[in-house]
Chains A and B, each alone.
Chain A
Amino acid sequence: MKDPDGLCDIFKRKAMAVSAIVKDVDSLDNAFEYAIEICKKKEACKMMNPGFDSQAKSEKIISAPGLSEDMAEKFADICMEQGIDYAQDSLRNHLSGIDIGFTTADWGIAETGTLVIDSSMEELRLATMISEIHIAVLQKSRIVKDSYELEDRLIQSMQKSPNYMAFITGASRTADIERVLAIGVHGPLELHILMLEDL
């Protein structure tokens, strides 16, 4: 094992404790395949707000705004082959929801199983908010012990204003009715974390 401090294990345990689904992947291609599988299995995004979506939803939609151009092209091709729509236009045209938001996390915090995603780009931010399932790829080498360890890096980002930094831990949740835990309020109903081997 190449995880001397056990950070990957702690991360995994903590993330799973808050209902995140955590899997290992060995490449980005592998992660794309996973996303496609999940997308095929799920029901199409149901929320309908009449008059706001540019098109009625007949097919499922994946968005992956943070990818490099060639990776995005590759992912879009795979989606097309599978009959899944790969969102090319602004997600503001899809505010009633998309099926999968696919992102790559900047950091992971082991102590709490938290993903740290610089969401300054609006499209990326929206993908993590309006998707029913958020799938994030996290490189194992980017996992740190606790939030204090990221302090300097976070400050660097914050100094380059504007900046929108998101700590994401598990899916969106509430306990506002009778303190009963319910997953999926305003954000994703599920969070999948794909841990990419790069150690």
Chain B
Amino acid sequence: MQSARNIKEYRKEIGEAIKNDFLRSAMDKFAVAYRDSRKAAFSDMNVDAIVEEVACAKDSAIENMDKLYEQFKENASRAGIKVHLASNAREANEIIAKIAQENNASKIVKSKSMTAEETLLNHHLEALGMEVTETDLGEWIIQLRHEGPSHMVMPAIHLSRNQVADLFSDVTGKKQDADIERLVKVARNALRQKYIEADMGISGANFAIADTATIGLTTNEGNARLVTTLPRVHVALIGLEKLVPTLHDALRINKVLPKNATGQAITSYVTWITGPNDCMASKDSRKVMHIVFLDNGRRALAADPVFSEVLRCIRCGACANVCPVYRMVGGHKLGHIYIGAIGLIVTYFYHGRDKAKNLVQNCINCGACKSVCAAGIDLPSLIKEVHSKVLEEEGHPLQSVLLGKMLRSRKLFHTLLRSAQKAQKPATGGSSYLRHLPHVFSKEHNFRLLPAIAKTPFRDMWEKIQTEVKSPKFTVALFSGCVQDFVYPEQLEAAVKFLADHDVAVEFPMDQSCCGLPVSMMGEKDDAWAVALKNMKALNDTNCDYIITLCASCASHLKHGYAKILENGPTDKKTLEKFCSKVVSFSQFANDIVKVPAESFQQKDFKAEKSKVTWHAPCHLCRGMGIKNAPHELIEKSGHEFVRAKEEETCCGFGGSYSGKFPGISAEILAAKLADFKQTGAKTIITECPGCIMQLRGGLEKQGEDIEVRHLAEILHQP
């Protein structure tokens, strides 16, 4: 849960989480194991197709939320279920408390429900003197510890068997060994008693099927079955977004949910309850059944053109499973009640700005969540949208306002960079790194060395190095991005020469500036829009077949970011689409479009020494641009010995301004990443993003490692 009052306090809490060794190793193992089990679970399925189906079906259900609710209510009432609609959390809790009181129920058993966590139902009922027992093992553990869940599917993933053994020793008054099998049996015994004594059972639901007023519950432990069977009263608390029209919709979601959540084909139990069933504990042998639907902002979300898609979420937790930040800090710090990427978004809507304002900044924008979302939610973009909302309401911090103002004027920005180059001398000692950091940086930033600004930026070299290509196969406009223009011009130079060798004419429009991703990341939407417009004009003034960039982040921002930022004008839709379709990454252009042959690397003038190399897939290339194979093929063609790293596609921890805001997390992600590379034994790490190069080189340099990091262009063109 979030209690930090400001970003400083939040950072401090994060610092403590990073130091939790058990948490770190548990999260690491999980991140790696999850990736493999998910892959295996989906091995004979077209994942993209079913995700698309789920997204479409959920969108239609969200659009018809009110209608589905009425239909469900009508069918349920006919079957003898009492249906309630709670407009907010407090109302839901009060309705449920009243049901308990009216039925003289003082002992309650609960099966796992994130919605009940959302409303803090247990606290409400306990304050009224009722005894509430969570029956899902993980939920029971955290209830006993007075904690919130740290994962939506595995709520106690942050705890070790020893911690659970100590807890169970306290609860049973008997020493319990840290043997997981036995600890599970302790829970089985202790909780069976609770089921037997309970007057009322509370469950959530994964599905509410309007057609037959059926609720569907997926569980592994079998606790939901006992909760909905033994006590004489059953109350289900369900978010309105769980309404679906038909059984088919539920079965479809169920094909994705367990696979995406835990890599299981299906959970041990899927329970479909329609109407009040036999219940021999009731006087009339019939269960008393209530369903409480929770709005709590959902109906407003459903009507929101930007945010309605967050209601597609089926609560599988995958967005946390793959998040590099979650892996470092765990769910208590990367969420309030809902955790992971979806938590960063819905916290704002369900629990308010105060709980969301720090949290929402803790996204490194690697896109891993989006790539595994079971409902195809564009999580990273929506996180930025929430951040923008928070800024609109709370005011913009000076830092991001200044950055925005500066980036809006290319001349101002570039003048500043040029004077910084002159001013940096005392810090570089003539080397290509800043040997000590200027005082504006805190000690925490010292985990990597930052590069020095190059003496001559690429734009000043251009006139000299541009080459005329006679009868070119293609003409491309080069978008340099600021890091390569001002820090690593040699990477662009290598690319220009490589392209000329392959009969590609290159233009370099001088009016281009920063792509605007940094201000987008900071939630400064207006500045992002202004910068996008200027760059688009500069690039459109050329007559090119393609726009290529050597920076994966710029590429995906130009291609997908601009498509969103500029969708409401002023550019017409066709021009915008044409622009975005022209944007390609360097590797994609070289391999898939120019189709550079392997033979070209065997000629005498390609004298590069062949060595053992590995590849780092930049987030914005492998996920942002969807380019995975082109760089592999190019490296193979170049004749180097290519060893793949296990965590090739894991973020390096840079994230642009993110690493400035959360240096502690960035440092830990980098450390894990470098350790993974070292296992390959490669002497060179190749990648295609100057940001990643800056981060990886900086870390290796700091560690004094003899491993070099090169841009793919420098590997393909060696003088």
Of A23-31, A54-62, A165-173, the stretch lying at the interface with chain B is A165-173
A172 and B222 form a contact (CB under 8 A)? yes
Contacting residues, chain B, for A120 (C-beta < 8 A):
277-278
- A161-B266 in contact given A95-B230, A147-B254, A176-B141 (Cβ < 8 Å): no
A132 to chain B, nearest CB (A): 10
Closest to B209 in A: A158
Q: Residue-by-residue, is A27-66 near B (CB-CB < 8 Å gives 1, otherwise 0)?
A: 0000000000000000000010100100000000000000
Q: Could you jot down 8 A-B contacts, CB within 8 Å?
A: A112-B266, A114-B270, A129-B222, A129-B225, A147-B255, A163-B274, A179-B33, A185-B222
- A186-B266 in contact given A122-B277, A167-B271, A173-B220 (Cβ < 8 Å): no
Contacting residues, chain A, for B542 (C-beta < 8 A):
none
A178 contacts partner chain B, Cβ-Cβ < 8 Å: yes
User: Could you say which of B156, B214, B222 contacts A186, with CB atoms under 8 Å apart?
Assistant: B222
A186 and B229 form a contact (CB under 8 A)? no
B154 and A163 form a contact (CB under 8 A)? no
Contacting residues, chain A, for B230 (C-beta < 8 A):
95
B274 and A176 form a contact (CB under 8 A)? no
Q: Residue-by-residue, is B198-234 near A (CB-CB < 8 Å gives 1, otherwise 0)?
A: 0000000000010111100000111101100110000
Besides A164-B277, A178-B26, A185-B188, 17 new A-B residue pairs in contact (Cβ under 8 A), listed by A number:
A18-B264, A47-B192, A49-B196, A113-B265, A151-B247, A158-B209, A161-B80, A161-B275, A166-B270, A167-B269, A170-B268, A173-B268, A174-B137, A177-B141, A178-B161, A180-B180, A182-B184
A4 contacts partner chain B, Cβ-Cβ < 8 Å: no
Complex: A183 Cα to B268 Cα, angstroms: 10
Complex: A9 Cα to B22 Cα, angstroms: 42
Instruction: List the 5 shortest-distance A-B pairs measured between CB atoms, nearest first.
Output: A187-B222, A161-B275, A162-B275, A176-B138, A167-B270
A192 contacts partner chain B, Cβ-Cβ < 8 Å: no
User: Could you say which of B183, B192, B248, B269 contacts A177, with CB atoms under 8 Å apart?
Assistant: B183
A145 contacts partner chain B, Cβ-Cβ < 8 Å: no
Complex: A161 Cα to B72 Cα, angstroms: 13
Contacting residues, chain A, for B297 (C-beta < 8 A):
none
Closest to B286 in A: A162
Q: Residue-by-residue, is B94-136 near A (CB-CB < 8 Å gives 1, otherwise 0)?
A: 0000000000000000000000000000000000000000011
Total residue contacts A-B, CB cutoff 8 A:
194
Q: Residue-by-residue, is B275-299 near A (CB-CB < 8 Å gives 1, otherwise 0)?
A: 1111111000001000000000000
B195 contacts partner chain A, Cβ-Cβ < 8 Å: yes
B196 and A125 form a contact (CB under 8 A)? no
Interface centre among A90, A95, A147 (most CB of B within 10 A): A147
Contacting residues, chain B, for A168 (C-beta < 8 A):
268-269
Contacting residues, chain A, for B271 (C-beta < 8 A):
164-167
Contacting residues, chain B, for A175 (C-beta < 8 A):
154, 220, 262
User: Could you say which of B135, B192, B213, B278 contacts A161, with CB atoms under 8 Å apart?
Assistant: B213
Contacting residues, chain A, for B268 (C-beta < 8 A):
18, 168-173, 187
Complex: A114 Cα to B218 Cα, angstroms: 13
B164 contacts partner chain A, Cβ-Cβ < 8 Å: yes
Contacting residues, chain B, for A80 (C-beta < 8 A):
none
User: Could you say which of B196, B262, B266, B280 contacts A52, with CB atoms under 8 Å apart?
Assistant: B196
Which residues 127-159 in B have Cβ within 8 Å of A in the complex?
A: 135-138, 141, 154-157, 159
User: Could you say which of A18, A95, A121, A155 contacts B195, with CB atoms under 8 Å apart?
Assistant: A95
Contacting residues, chain B, for A179 (C-beta < 8 A):
26, 29-30, 33, 154, 157
B412 contacts partner chain A, Cβ-Cβ < 8 Å: no
Contacting residues, chain A, for B157 (C-beta < 8 A):
179
B16 contacts partner chain A, Cβ-Cβ < 8 Å: no
User: Could you say which of B79, B184, B269, B276 contacts A184, with CB atoms under 8 Å apart?
Assistant: B184
A14 contacts partner chain B, Cβ-Cβ < 8 Å: yes
Contacting residues, chain A, for B500 (C-beta < 8 A):
none
B229 and A129 form a contact (CB under 8 A)? yes
Contacting residues, chain B, for A7 (C-beta < 8 A):
none
- A186-B191 in contact given A173-B221, A176-B136 (Cβ < 8 Å): yes
B220 and A174 form a contact (CB under 8 A)? yes
A68 contacts partner chain B, Cβ-Cβ < 8 Å: no
Contacting residues, chain A, for B187 (C-beta < 8 A):
185
Which residues 22-77 in B have Cβ within 8 Å of A in the complex?
A: 26, 29-30, 33
Complex: A122 Cα to B270 Cα, angstroms: 17
Contacting residues, chain B, for A141 (C-beta < 8 A):
none
User: Could you say which of A125, A163, A185 contacts B272, with CB atoms under 8 Å apart?
Assistant: A163
Chain B: residues with CB nearer than 8 A to chain A?
26, 29-30, 33, 78-80, 135-138, 141, 154-157, 159-161, 164, 180-181, 183-185, 187-189, 191-193, 195-196, 209, 211-214, 220-223, 225-226, 229-230, 247-248, 251, 254-255, 262, 264-281, 287
A169 and B267 form a contact (CB under 8 A)? yes
Contacting residues, chain B, for A142 (C-beta < 8 A):
none
B280 and A185 form a contact (CB under 8 A)? no
B251 and A147 form a contact (CB under 8 A)? yes
B203 to chain A, nearest CB (A): 13
A174 and B213 form a contact (CB under 8 A)? no
B137 and A95 form a contact (CB under 8 A)? no
B154 and A166 form a contact (CB under 8 A)? no
Interface centre among B209, B269, B280, B281 (most CB of A within 10 A): B269
Closest to B44 in A: A111
Complex: A178 Cα to B150 Cα, angstroms: 13
Interface centre among A113, A120, A171, A175 (most CB of B within 10 A): A175
Complex: A187 Cα to B26 Cα, angstroms: 27
User: Could you say which of A90, A111, A167, A176 contacts B154, with CB atoms under 8 Å apart?
Assistant: A176
Complex: A96 Cα to B194 Cα, angstroms: 11
Interface centre among A52, A155, A164, A168 (most CB of B within 10 A): A164
A182 and B135 form a contact (CB under 8 A)? no
Complex: A90 Cα to B157 Cα, angstroms: 39
User: Could you say which of B155, B181, B192 contacts A95, with CB atoms under 8 Å apart?
Assistant: B192
Q: Residue-by-residue, is A111-143 near B (CB-CB < 8 Å gives 1, otherwise 0)?
A: 111100000111001100100000000000000
Complex: A121 Cα to B277 Cα, angstroms: 8
B79 and A161 form a contact (CB under 8 A)? yes
Interface centre among A171, A178, A188 (most CB of B within 10 A): A178
Contacting residues, chain B, for A177 (C-beta < 8 A):
137-138, 141, 156, 159, 161, 164, 180, 183-184
B609 to chain A, nearest CB (A): 45
Complex: A154 Cα to B209 Cα, angstroms: 13
B12 to chain A, nearest CB (A): 28
Complex: A112 Cα to B269 Cα, angstroms: 12
Closest to A17 in B: B265
Closest to B185 in A: A184
Contacting residues, chain A, for B185 (C-beta < 8 A):
184
Contacting residues, chain A, for B26 (C-beta < 8 A):
178-179
Contacting residues, chain B, for A167 (C-beta < 8 A):
266, 269-272
Complex: A129 Cα to B227 Cα, angstroms: 11
Complex: A96 Cα to B229 Cα, angstroms: 15
B112 to chain A, nearest CB (A): 10
User: Could you say which of B78, B180, B193, B221 contacts A178, with CB atoms under 8 Å apart?
Assistant: B180
B719 to chain A, nearest CB (A): 51
Closest to B229 in A: A125
A176 to chain B, nearest CB (A): 4
A160 to chain B, nearest CB (A): 8
A49 and B193 form a contact (CB under 8 A)? yes
A176 and B137 form a contact (CB under 8 A)? yes
- A178-B188 in contact given A158-B247, A186-B226 (Cβ < 8 Å): no
Complex: A158 Cα to B184 Cα, angstroms: 34
B274 and A162 form a contact (CB under 8 A)? yes
A47 and B280 form a contact (CB under 8 A)? no
Contacting residues, chain B, for A148 (C-beta < 8 A):
248, 251
Contacting residues, chain B, for A174 (C-beta < 8 A):
137-138, 184, 220-221
Contacting residues, chain B, for A182 (C-beta < 8 A):
180-181, 184
